[in-house]
Amino acid sequence: MEEIKTIMIGATLKELRKELNISQEEISGRTGLDRTFISMLERDIRQPTITTIFLLAEALKLKPFELVKKVEEKYKGYEIKRDTY
């Protein structure tokens, strides 16, 4: 069982956005979140909170749980193990 420390949602977000053929600026407009922040989310430099996940899902035309499910599918066979700090 491989260990990971943080959930990476970036690739999933980018894929879904590309499927819709829209820009980061469009996501920014739809969510009310800053454009540079969307960029950082896609590059896994930032992590969304649950409210942000709900906003992103709405912008990407799917349900929050579906978005999470897509992220989840990338982590089959991995165990999350945080750094306790």
Partner DNA sequence: ATGTAGACTAAAGTCGACC
Partner DNA sequence: GGGTCGACTTTAGTCTACA
CB of 52 to DNA, least distance (A): 4
Residue 1 binding a copy of itself, by CB under 8 A: no
CA distances from 34 to 23, 38, 42, 81, 85 (A): 13, 7, 13, 30, 28
Residue 3 DSSP SS3: strand
Q: Which is nearer to a copy of itself, 21 or 53 (CB)?
A: 53
Q: Looking at beta carbons only, is 50 or 77 nearer to a copy of itself?
A: 50
Minimum CB distance to a copy of itself, residue 7 (Å): 5
